[in-house]
Structure 1
């Protein structure tokens, strides 16, 4: 089969040439339409896949494949653009069809479980291309595979449709003012930007350098002028309680807390290897550690009028954080929430404006981000603009239909997001970040990180050089400095272990936290459809010892 790749976006047309020969396929490219244009789908609109006569070869394309996304497939019926437009979710049976290249797809049932919520309905009855340019994560192979599963036909050529699919101002895109990033980051997504450092860079120091701290953005990085910034606190009735400038915030007592922040999808690739999951790619570097400086959220809430403190705040069950980053398609802001009892247990919930003693970088929430020690990174909202005291958790997509985990037996055709609570505290996890062989001493040196949420420290890390048959305890770099239920930053560890006699082995690590929670042995037992909370034993294959 063939793959479509591009330096900007994964588009079928950008990779097709006048003639392409691939295993199991013969297809042709005809001349362009009369209007000459630099179209991303010129070739796409004029390409047809014809299965070869041999059934054994043709049959390999009988199942949905990312390689066929957006191409004309002869075994499917053809629809006029007007037919697709009539299925816009507003008429008759409320069915929703969309087009991508030459393909027509029925997304009616899929819309309810779409990872991006109801934003998919913005493309109802029209082309996906203008919307997917705003969200480059859709150009992943797994997304195209899902799309092909929903194919119902081919789209007949239509000049007006093609123009709509191409209609976008490339120069004034929503990601035009992104910050400069370190070339040492491994980019997992361009727009929005997601990246992680190489694992071995994480164990050099207890604090992760700002430029190597993993980046997880959901939307474009906003441009915020400090002199115009305001932080608002709103009560359960929508009444403004507090409005602070950045300078006002800095006048409050400054607190510093060392805290690790981890993406719920860290090590997702290991779950994807068990069975395909839906979500951005992450190795083991979507976790980092920093010292955060700022005002305590409790101190900001204390500025509220006394009547509000005794009534509205006491009625609140959740603290909702709203960012200033906005969806380029809908204008919606990123939002998430934590239960109010977290604030009672963790006094150092910060409204941080410093990171490792420096001004908070743009990628990490400048000028202010919420830092909730021990809680999943998705709740540590960046570019914080508003705190809402609420009787219910945030109604945002990221709170209600994302960042929840399910049984390995639940898949997208059976999932019900109301049946699982939102992820808050994180489970104990560890990873091998670096290893080396001393051939003369016949030993293997390893180093890595271990961390547990909710303030639980790490009391032990076990390592193995034979796949878990025998174990040895690693040396913790800060064993004596962990306060019970108040240890929010990670523990780095080192170990030197005897190398096995044979030439190939599997290195393994697992951590134990202060509540004696430990990691599950296999990723298979904790697989979930979004690929979240992977804290299985971390394994590294070593070919030559």
Structure 2
């Protein structure tokens, strides 16, 4: 694998892995914008970034479709309506660093900023599948498999799949995106075409899209069958082989919330008012409440949230909610905790060790940080 043609990136990112490049933006920069600027969007790569000419690009749609088709980028733009979807993408390994402190896990050691919110422009996937002859009622048990041009395991492209009901749902908002925040997709984020699957883990939003295959089983790609699965705490690398096939792949996001300001271990002026800030999201449900505790979860107070995007009153909230909680005088030392609830009454587990898993994925336990007074440094 050659990493000699990587895109230019911001120097202020926290680089968790250099090759392939995996990095998260500064927390204070991330929290400043409801829609994350392109150059501050977190980067999750599994291989060298492809360099693909948009002029000669073609997308192949095949498998068990009645009418296999091949579409150029210009045909996608001219033959299908363009829509925009605002959606937050989050790596399934977001906040993995907390699980790694309990017991070593395998994966990129992400903090709480492997998440960003964007406005995606492109073609609804369901319309492209319609053009290939797919009618959901005849294919309800099928899967839509994606493969990218980024070459990873076994000399194959990164791959993933989603069930047909999600792909064909007009309210599922799955997109073949060629724009990000009104601009051409950056190379790090999938130019010339990527999938965006709102409400699902970022691993399903395949970048540098090469092909779409409709088939009766989920993708056989390594990253669908041997990665991004959630195991019991007692499963380890000695006994995991018996669990791969009987453990379903992670698809939908769980309720999540995190504190981005202040940072863990920060020294602040605890005698003055201070605004604690963070984010919360669910898998399409509206966030009902974010709670903040200054005593490690003994007592709670509600934070003020900035509502996510409303879509036609259908309760589709694909974007995060930003929140703030102002403390008049913070105790020192202080353990700050946050948790979120959505409108389906889903919340977050209080205990990280109870959800520890060897891949360190889907950590949505209460987020805890410790701060001290500047005067006590």
Same fold (TM over 0.5): yes
Question: What CA deviation, in whole Å up to 9, does each residue of 1:469-506 have, x standing for no partner?
Answer: 211100011279475541100000011124354x3110
| 1:257 counterpart SS class | strand
Cα contact 1:294–1:350 (8 A) shared by 2: yes
Tell me the CA shift for residue 437 of structure 1.
Answer: 4.8
What TM-score does the superposition give when structure 2 sets the normalisation length? 0.92
The structure showing larger relative contact order (alpha-carbon pairs under 8 Å, at least 6 residues apart) is 2
Shift of 1:438: 5.3
**What is the 5 A alignment of 1:150-299?**
174-236=2-64, 241-251=68-78, 252-299=80-127
Residue 363 of structure 1 deviates from its aligned partner by: 0.3
Compared with structure 1, are the counterparts of its residues 462 and 235 closer, same or farther at alpha carbon in structure 2 (3 Å cutoff)? same
Against the structure 1 CA distance between its residues 473 and 341, is the aligned structure 2 distance closer, same or farther, given a 3 Å change threshold?
A: same
Q: Which of 459, 467, 470 is the matching residue for 2:288?
A: 459
2:354 to 506, 509, 525: 525
Aligned length: 365
- What is the correspondence of 1:52-451 to structure 2 with a 5 Å cutoff? 134=1, 174-236=2-64, 241-251=68-78, 252-304=80-132, 308-309=133-134, 314=139, 317-327=142-152, 330-345=154-169, 346-415=171-240, 416-435=243-262, 437=268, 439-441=270-272, 443-451=273-281
Taking the TM superposition and a 5 Å limit, the aligned residue runs for 1:493-504 are 493-501=323-331, 503-504=332-333
> Any gaps of 5 or more consecutive residues in structure 2?
none
Give the CA deviation at 1:314: 2.4
Q: 1:508 to 1:312 in 2, by over 3 A?
A: closer
Q: What is the CA deviation profile of residues 36-92 of structure 1, one whole-angstrom value per residue up to 9, with x for unaligned ones? A: xxxxxxxxxxxxxxxxxxxxxxxxxxxxxxxxxxxxxxxxxxxxxxxxxxxxxxxxx
Deviations 1:281-324 (A, max 9, x none): 101111110000000111111222xxx43599627610001111
Corresponding position of 2:344? 515
User: Under a length normalisation based on structure 1, what TM-score does the superposition of the two structures give?
Assistant: 0.64
Q: Over aligned residues, Cα RMSD in angstroms?
A: 2.0
User: Residues 499 and 469 of structure 1: is their aligned pair in 2 closer, same or farther, counting only changes over 3 Å?
Assistant: farther
Q: CA 1:404–1:330 in 2, change beyond 3 Å: closer, same or farther? A: closer
Tell me, which stretches of 5 or more residues in structure 1 are unaligned?
1-133, 135-173
Q: 3-state SS of the aligned residue for 2:134?
A: helix
User: Is the 1:371–1:380 Cα contact (8 Å) retained in structure 2?
Assistant: yes
Q: Aligned with 2:245: secondary structure?
A: helix
Q: Residues 355 and 509 from structure 1, CA distance in 2 versus in 1: closer, same or farther, beyond 3 angstroms?
A: same
Query: Are the structure 2 counterparts of residues 514 and 310 from structure 1 closer, same or farther at C-alpha, using a change threshold of 3 Å?
Result: closer
Larger helix fraction of residues: 1
Q: 1:465·1:498 contact (CA, 8 Å) conserved in 2?
A: no
Are the structure 2 counterparts of residues 450 and 296 from structure 1 closer, same or farther at C-alpha, using a change threshold of 3 Å?
same
1:292/1:355 contact within 8 Å kept: yes
Deviation (angstroms), 1:406: 0.7
Higher strand fraction: Structure 1 or Structure 2?
Answer: 2
- 8 A Cα contact 1:313 1:389, kept in partner: no
Instruction: Provide Cα deviations, 1:396-423, integer angstroms capped at 9, x if missing partner.
Output: 1100010000111211112221121000
Cα distance, 1:343 vs structure 2: 2.2
Conserved? CA contact 1:277–1:531, under 8 Å: yes
Summarize the Cα distance change of 1:240–1:459 in structure 2 as closer, same or farther, 3 Å threshold. same
